[in-house]
Every structure is written in C-alpha cells, then in structure tokens.
Chain A
C-alpha cells in the first residue's frame, strides 16, 4: 500500500511527540488561555498575544523535539554560555522596575533568567552525564561552579527570587545525578554557614524586607505584605466552586498586583475554586509523573538526566509559585509554568517539553 507522502511527512513531523504529555500540556494551555482572558479584564488583545506566545512555544516544542540528544549534548555548553552572556548583557543593558530582568533584542524582549530553567539542566546533564556514581569530584565541583555562576548573575540583577529558584534547580539536578551523602551534608553545612553572611552583605534592603514580610505579611499590609494578603483573599474567597469565570473581583479591581503574571494562580483559584485548583494540580501531577515514566528507560545517561532535570525544574517552579500565592514561600516574581502571562517563560517551558520528548524519542529509536 502506497503511503501518502504528505501524510508520512506529517507523521514524521509529530513522531517524536509524546501523545500523553501533549494532551496534558494542551489541557493546561486551555485553562491558561481562559484565565488570561479573565485576568486581563477580558482584553482580546492581551489574550491574543498570549495565544501567539503559546503558538510560538508549541513551534519551539516541535523544533526542539527534532533535535537529537547527540546534537543537544554537543550544543549544551554553547547554549549555556550564550545564556550567561545574555545575563551579563542584562546587567549592563537590562530594563525593569525594581530589577533589570529584560533585554531588548530588536523586536524581541527577552528575559534571559527564564532561559536558565532550560540551560541549567542541560549543562548539568552535560557535565555529570559522562560520570557514573560515585561521581568525579572535579565534575561535581564544575557543575556546582556553573550553577553558582548563573545564580550570581541573576542575583545581581538583582532578582533574588529567580536566583534561588535557579540554584534549587541546579542542585536538584546534581542530586539526581547521584552524588554521595558526604557531598550532600557538606553542601548543606556550607549553605547554613554562609546564610548570615549573605543576609549581612549580599542582600539589599528591599530584599530583606521581602523575606521579613514573608514571615509576617500583616506587619506591612499596604506595603510589601500587600501582595500576599490580597492573594490569600483571592484564593480563600474562591470557595469550593469559585466565583465563576471572569468574576474575580480581586483582579478586576486591581487589588491583586501582578495578577496576570506571578499571581495568576490566585485569580484562577478565585474564579474556579477548589474544584478548579484540584483539576490544575492533577494535570501538573500527571505531567510530572509522565516525565518520570519517560525517564525510566532512557539508556543514555545524558538524556535521562536532561529529562529528569527539566522535570525537576518544572516541579520547583510550580511548587514555589503556588506556595507563594498562599504565603508559604516568599514573593519571588517567578511565573507559574504554562499559566502565567509572559513570553520567555511560556516559550522556554514548552521548549523544555520538546527537549524531553526528543531525548525520549531518540533514546527509544537508538534502542531499536
């Protein structure tokens, strides 16, 4: 039976895609579009822009899905270095309200710190992939140094929240690679000792405030604690079934700041209630466990570390963002993956899924 050449081209195009994961991602993206329409005061223009970014993100996903792990491995150090260069550029040419996070490159406004959630797992997988446990101390030190360097570049923007997130992602991928208990204890001790010095010398006053407010948001209800208080009001007032789509008063009347970006979850929880939250959390959990399943047999250690590392990066972002909206994590200015408004995060998250799918697909292909 003669095959339709176009059909076969299309089949080849989507071949690397993981059907289960794609369905789950698309389900979250539908919720994302719905809640962005509402959070942007039913502005079609803003929703369209969000949709365009999703489209670009899905194209990036598709593109990344066709890059074999071998190519990716070859490009890993260059991509990471490029990312670091962009971060350095941000320090000199960046823009933003309190921190410089954005970089304007022609028509594109880029947030390089968002790309780190791709390149950190990539570079750690690159460095630690060739070494089997017990890991070579040199490689571990190198991986730690790269993560620390990236963290430092983000921290001086200054964007402490993202820096912490980045270091957490980096450390979690290193943990995944399988370092010994001694290393874990040693690193833990080092962190514990350095904390007072970081507080004393590295943090700016507003950052200290953020952390103080995290422990006691009511102390400054109109200042730094305001966001968290308003976010908790939004979440709590949602009730079981929510106020209904487009009926978030907290967002419509601007009580909740950053309600389309960092605090999109609060708006979602306000409008769709506990039922909606349960659905979203279930979708995220399904995505995460699908990623776990995808990494099970990855014969190639680099691919496995990459899939696992990107999965951990996703998990950490989801956890920190949701915890922040109910006051269990400091206000960091980090988006909720797949939900928040903002191009860099959306595109890099979708691209990460593409990488995972490619790693899985070509690993399987090689097995055959």
Chain B
C-alpha cells in the first residue's frame, strides 16, 4: 500500500491526543511541533478541520483582505505563505437548518508588516458568535499551562454577559466559565501535561478548545476557538535559584568594589609618595 505524505501526516495527527477534543467543528494543527520561530512561521502549513464537512473556509489576512480556502477529502486545509507578518484569522462557518457553526483559529506568520494594526483583526466580526482572545499572545509569548488568560464572548459584535463557555484540552481537562457583564472571562490553563521533560523543545504543545453555544430564540449558534498551549517552563526553571544566583552576583559585586577601592587607594598613596 502506498501512503501519500498527506496520508502519513493525517495518520500522525489522528494518533495524537488532540482527538480527545470531540466537540464540534474545530481547527487542529496537522503536526504540532516546536513552534514560534520565523522559519516555522514562513512555511506553508496544513490545518485539519475536524467535523467540518460543507464548511465555508476563509482567512482574514493582516491587511484585512480575505482569502477563500478549501478543505480536502481528508479534512485538510492547506494554507500557503501569505508573505504578510502577524496574525491571520482562520475561520470555518456552516449553517444547517438554523444551526450556525463556526470554528476560529489565529495563525502567526512571518513576512512584510501590513499597515492595519493587528488589533483590527481581532475586532473584526469573525462569526455571529465569536470568542475573542483579550489579548492574543504576541511575538515571544504563547499560551502556557498554569498561566491566566482572558477572552471575550461576543454575539453579533456585542458582549454576551452571563453566558457559559467550556474549555477542553488535549490532555483531558475540562472546565466551565461564565462571562461577566462585559462578556469577558478569565481562565488559568490547566497544568495538565503528563511526562513533562525538561526544556520547551522536549515537550510537544497541547491544544485547547473554547466552545460556546447560544440560542437567540430563532437560531442556534456554536462556536469554537482553538489554540496551542505549551508546558509552563516553571517545570525546569527555578525562581528561587535565580534569586539566589542574583544574590551571589551581588556579593561578587561587593568584593569587586572593595578590590577597586583598594587599588585606587594604593594608587593615590603611590602618587603622594612620588
């Protein structure tokens, strides 16, 4: 049997624990590897749209233009390098008998900077029911387990207060949150990675999905926002040890200062004698 590259990647993806997230239409990466560097962000990528049959797919680029995308028979969407820098919003939408479903994911690519502010791409409406990161981790930052992050739930562009949002992670955690009066909710990403090894490169990122449902009396809406999250480096970084080493450096500084003063005093004395 001959396996195509896409087939191998798909099998790899299916073998990953991401498949624990069986919720609704949701974006997942095809291969979750060490991310965050220019070379990784400047290549074409493939995303898997799970449960995404008949969905319309589009991507909002940093210059706020839109690009239509296709989902192949395996559920894969190939995203070519746009040569534009910063956030891209990948959106899949589907409407069936009054049920409006949406899956949203933000991608970070490298290239030429676009004129509009990156915040514009977040304020644009992506779907009627929208989960918006507040804020989205910018360059050199990422979603980390054990850290807190905030999001805003909007319906037709307006904050949705007192509404439930569910969090599911690829490591098996589930949590519920309720939005405040401004549609905002904060969460601490669960520190739920198993077999954590030392070093970011040695730990495969996980996936988390936020999901919310809303019925306005006429139609129903389901939206998911997915994103990768990484193991908190506190597993291999010691704050206490860092503070102790700074103390050591300070002691070294005191010794150096005394040494310099002694040399200065000796030099002054030498000049006086001369």
A, B: real partners: no
